[in-house]
Copies of this chain bind each other. A is one copy, B any other.
Amino acid sequence: MTARPFPTRSEDFNEWYNQLVLKAELADYAPVRGCMVVRPYGWALWENIQQALDRRFKATGHVNAGFPMFIPASFLEREKEHVAGFKPELAVVTIAGGEELAEPLVVRPTSETLIGHMYAKWIQSYQDLPLLINLWNSVVRWEKRTKLFLRTTEFFWQEGHTAHATAEEAEAETLRMLDVYTDFAVNEAALPVIPGEKSQSEKFAGARRSYAIEAMMGDGRALQSATSHYFGQNFAEAFDIKYLDDHNALQYCWTTSWGLSTRFIGAIVMAHGDDQGLILPPRLAPYQVVVVPIYRSDDERRLVLEEADKLTSELVDYRVWVDRREGHSPGYKFNDWEMRGVPLRIELGPRDIAASQVILARRDMPGAAGKQAVPRTGVAAAVGELLREVQAAMYDRALRFREENTREASSYAELKEAVETGFASVWWCEEADCEQEIKDSTGATSRCLPIEQPEGGGVCFRDGRPAARKAIFARAY
């Protein structure tokens, strides 16, 4: 065995992640501090995420559009919480076309303000509502401490922005999109998530209420994986988004926004990966199956590659890659694709061809347990079946891990212990001063107030104040 190219997760989870992302060629550091290049393998994963989400957005009545990246600096000032939240992180263009600009332009940190400006122009009457637009783009937030995918100064994402005639419709939209994200995470990424409301101190700058899906990573920390915000009439008032209702009276709209970013790739890496590398969920994996040909002579090579082509042509329903690289042993290729997380490996050599079989190996079960010989005629069916099994097993494993590392805490001492290794579930007063104290002394924050709540109420685990809901606390990325 050669030395592992990165530490194990228990040796150094942080370095395991950083080096794995580079080694697996998901992303690389760009020359500008804090920016990343998403490499083709990472981008193919992102494209699969995009397609799975875009399908869901369109099925729920949304359409895409393209908005510019520049926003007049004055726009941000119009909603006071919004500007307070984003101003410290802005990148500002002051020179363009060789001249100093009269008004500086900010590169969008998010597009609520520009959307507000255009919606005010486009929306006249109730017949124009709801307006349900999504953007696939990138945004810039000048972060001090960066980490590939999780926190970069520019990141790729989608941002949905909707306007409605009533508060009820806007609230329903906010929760509908939270559901869409939950469904995507569970059924596409095999990621168990907890959908819930954010506390007042954790909500989006300018939102009345923010919701998120929270996932547990392999080190027990939480990662906010997507968010959905209800703005009430905050942005409608700031940008004068009004409509004539069916009694011909002018009303402010009710708006929402929601987003999921390339950060989600970080969640997939950290929730599913093991000490050998990535484990990618079959539904999103760039390659679902890799075929590693095994041969010694040129004759064997010809024979095996011909058979690999035949096999590939039977697997058109799947994303299959035949690793034809010269100068690398099959063992090297096994390790390489294991590191890159391909869900299924097909090993194919002259002896397999003679025996009319192939060897199928599951990425999520390394070693002999995940390996089986499958008759040549049954490969397509077996591949379909195994990919479904891998997808389900990945979800089950991640859910079990989260359950094993989540504790019901009824005292501050119990919470402190729980957040050392995972999530704490507590009755909580939801007060900002309480959250600040917890953060200062434990490093943990309230991740969300889950949508699913037990009956009744309780008292705050820390200060004994009345608690209407339970909350999840954890250290977070």
Q: Which residues does chain B contribute within 8 Å of A65, judged by CB atoms?
A: 37-40, 42-43
> Is the CB–CB distance between A94 and B96 below 8 Å?
no
Look across to chain B and name the residue whose beta carbon is closest to the beta carbon of A91.
B96
Looking at the complex, which one of B64, B88, B94 makes contact with A47 (CB distance below 8 Å)? B64
Docked complex: A99-134 residues within 8 A CB-CB of B: 104-105, 107, 114, 117-118, 121-122, 127, 133
Indicate whether A316 reaches chain B with its CB closer than 8 angstroms.
no
> Is the CB–CB distance between A40 and B133 below 8 Å?
yes
Docked complex: A126-147 residues within 8 A CB-CB of B: 127, 133, 137-138, 140, 142-144
> Is the CB–CB distance between A138 and B69 below 8 Å?
yes
> Is the CB–CB distance between B94 and A30 below 8 Å?
no
Q: Which residues does chain B contribute within 8 Å of A40, judged by CB atoms?
A: 63-65, 133
> Is the CB–CB distance between B31 and A75 below 8 Å?
yes
> Is the CB–CB distance between B156 and A66 below 8 Å?
yes
Q: Which residues does chain B contribute within 8 Å of A32, judged by CB atoms?
A: 68, 70-72, 105
> Smallest Cβ distance from A359 to chain B, in angstroms?
27
For chain A, the bracket of interface size reads 35 or more
Indicate whether A378 reaches chain B with its CB closer than 8 angstroms.
no
> Smallest Cβ distance from A474 to chain B, in angstroms?
27
Look across to chain B and name the residue whose beta carbon is closest to the beta carbon of A156.
B66
Q: Which residues does chain B contribute within 8 Å of A153, judged by CB atoms?
A: 70, 96
Q: A72-B31, A121-B28 are in contact. Are A93 and B107 (CB under 8 A)?
A: yes
Q: Which residues does chain B contribute within 8 Å of A127, judged by CB atoms?
A: 325-327
* Contact residues of A: prevailing secondary structure: mixed
Number of identical protomers: 2
Query: A42-85 interface mask toward B, CB cutoff 8 Å, 1 = contact, 0 = none?
Result: 11101100000000000000011111111110010000000000
Indicate whether A387 reaches chain B with its CB closer than 8 angstroms.
no
> Is the CB–CB distance between B90 and A96 below 8 Å?
yes
Look across to chain B and name the residue whose beta carbon is closest to the beta carbon of A68.
B35
Complex alpha-carbon distance, A108 and B397, angstroms: 43
> Is the CB–CB distance between A43 and B72 below 8 Å?
no
> Smallest Cβ distance from A197 to chain B, in angstroms?
30
> Is the CB–CB distance between B93 and A92 below 8 Å?
yes
Q: Which residues does chain B contribute within 8 Å of A31, judged by CB atoms?
A: 71-72, 75, 114, 117
> Is the CB–CB distance between A67 and B37 below 8 Å?
yes
Complex alpha-carbon distance, A65 and B46, angstroms: 9
Indicate whether A180 reaches chain B with its CB closer than 8 angstroms.
no
> Is the CB–CB distance between A43 and B70 below 8 Å?
no
Indicate whether A98 reaches chain B with its CB closer than 8 angstroms.
yes
Indicate whether A36 reaches chain B with its CB closer than 8 angstroms.
yes
Look across to chain B and name the residue whose beta carbon is closest to the beta carbon of A327.
B127
Looking at the complex, which one of B92, B117, B154 makes contact with A69 (CB distance below 8 Å)? B154
Q: Which residues does chain B contribute within 8 Å of A46, judged by CB atoms?
A: 66
Indicate whether A97 reaches chain B with its CB closer than 8 angstroms.
yes
Indicate whether A172 reaches chain B with its CB closer than 8 angstroms.
no
> Smallest Cβ distance from A155 to chain B, in angstroms?
9
Indicate whether A245 reaches chain B with its CB closer than 8 angstroms.
no
Complex alpha-carbon distance, A66 and B132, angstroms: 26
Q: Which residues does chain B contribute within 8 Å of A137, judged by CB atoms?
A: 138
> Smallest Cβ distance from A20 to chain B, in angstroms?
18
Indicate whether A12 reaches chain B with its CB closer than 8 angstroms.
no
Indicate whether A89 reaches chain B with its CB closer than 8 angstroms.
yes
Q: Which residues does chain B contribute within 8 Å of A30, judged by CB atoms?
A: 67-68, 70, 114, 118
Q: A68-B35, A138-B69, A154-B68 are in contact. Are A94 and B95 (CB under 8 A)?
A: yes
Q: Which residues does chain B contribute within 8 Å of A67, judged by CB atoms?
A: 30, 37-38
Complex alpha-carbon distance, A47 and B65, angstroms: 10
Looking at the complex, which one of B71, B95, B97, B144 makes contact with A97 (CB distance below 8 Å)? B144
Beyond the given pairs A47-B64, A69-B107, A96-B142, 16 more chain A to chain B contacts, judged by CB atoms under 8 angstroms and listed by A's residue number, are A30-B118, A31-B71, A32-B68, A38-B67, A40-B64, A40-B65, A43-B66, A44-B63, A69-B69, A69-B140, A70-B154, A88-B97, A90-B95, A92-B96, A94-B94, A95-B104
Question: Which 7 pairs show the lowest CB-CB distances between chains A and B?
Answer: A97-B142, A38-B66, A40-B63, A35-B68, A92-B95, A91-B96, A96-B142
Name 11 interchain pairs, CB-CB below 8 A, sorted by A: A31-B114, A32-B70, A32-B72, A39-B65, A42-B66, A70-B140, A90-B97, A91-B96, A91-B97, A91-B105, A93-B107
